Amino acid sequence: MTLVERMRSGLGRRGARTAASPAVLPAMLGVPVGLWQAVFFAAPLGFLVVVTFWTVKSFRLEPDFSLANWERILLSGPFQRALLYTFEISLLSAVLTLLVALPAAYTIAFRLPRWLRDLAVTLLIVPVFSSYMLRIYAWQIVLSPGGIINSVLRFLLDLELNLLGGQISLQVGLLTLTLPVAILILVMAFSGIDRTLIEAAENLGCRRVRVIWHVMLPSIRRAIALAGSTAFLLAFGDYISPLFMTGSKPPTLSILIVDTVKSGSQWPRASVVGVSMLVILALVFLAVAWAGRAGKGGK
């Protein structure tokens, strides 16, 4: 098995201490994982790309090599509108997330005592893995015309706001998704800044605000890009917030996919939407990475 042979050859002194070990062990360890990911991750996605070229004849999916699906979808009005819309809300979400996350992360990293900081980190990790869907449902309750906020407003100011159904509620939903992760990334980044840089800047006469702007933010440039990209990624692929906050009007790309799949056998078209999304996400990440490297200059 050439993979095993390659592992045995081991490049370099550090890390590849294969001298005293048979190549059986790495094969035993590596093959199950590799195979699992290949079969249950790479293959389905690969299959998806393949399906985009297939055609549906009398409700049956048939292998083909046709660009018809691509033409049909890419040129269709609804798709293009959904694409633009999804891109716009994701961009907006990324920006809003950063605007909220940066000050919050700064406060956590620098203005809280250690125990409170650890508590804050815990309180941020928990929502990332707990029932995003339920939390959006909760917002729906809170923001709806008969909900908590409006009840309070009606009681206090005799006012009723139409909070649900618009960009505000959508962005609230997306923030619920993106904020915890973004704040965590930035807290880790802020905590990791070399303190001597900050002290040097203050020693040279910079006030706090200037230290933040000129020393800290540039130091965590990569983390900011990561937090923003992650927020963009999460928002771009989200299904729940647009569904519950705006009732799928207008639809995002994920909603398009789910609806197309639900409505029957239009697999190739749904696949086109999916593959297009992946391509766009990849391009966005590459653009961010390239911008990061270009900005670094001669570092």
DSSP state of 60: E
Q: At 55, which helix (H) or strand (E)?
A: strand 55-57
Smallest separation, CB 285 to other proteins (Å): 9
- If one asks whether residue 212 binds other proteins (CB under 8 A), the answer comes out as no
- If one asks whether residue 3 binds other proteins (CB under 8 A), the answer comes out as yes
Of the pair 131, 162, the CB lying nearest other proteins is at: 131
> Which stretch in 75-83, 160-168, 220-228, 236-244 sits in contact with other proteins by CB under 8 A?
236-244
Q: Which of 63, 78, 95, 151 binds other proteins (CB under 8 A)?
A: 151
- If one asks whether residue 85 binds other proteins (CB under 8 A), the answer comes out as no
Identify residues 265-284 at the interface with other proteins (CB under 8 A).
267, 270-271, 274, 277-278, 281
Of the pair 224, 244, the CB lying nearest other proteins is at: 244
- If one asks whether residue 197 binds other proteins (CB under 8 A), the answer comes out as no
List, in sequence order, every residue forming a beta bridge with 187; answer none if it has no partner.
none
- If one asks whether residue 179 binds other proteins (CB under 8 A), the answer comes out as yes
Compose the 98-127 pattern: x for residues touching other proteins by CB under 8 A, - for all others. --x--xx-xxxx-x--x--xx-xxxxxxxx
User: Counting beta carbons within 10 angstroms of the beta carbon of residue 105, is it exposed (0 to 12), middle (13 to 18) or buried (19 or more)?
Assistant: buried
What HEC string does 141-204 produce?
HHHCCCCHHHHHHHHHHCCCCCCCCCHHHHHHHHHHHHHHHHHHHHHHHHHCCCHHHHHHHHHC
- If one asks whether residue 236 binds other proteins (CB under 8 A), the answer comes out as yes
Closest CA to 61 of 281, 270, 280, 299: 270
Closest CA to 165 of 232, 78, 240, 250: 250
- If one asks whether residue 258 binds other proteins (CB under 8 A), the answer comes out as yes
Tokens representing residue 226 in the block? 């990561």
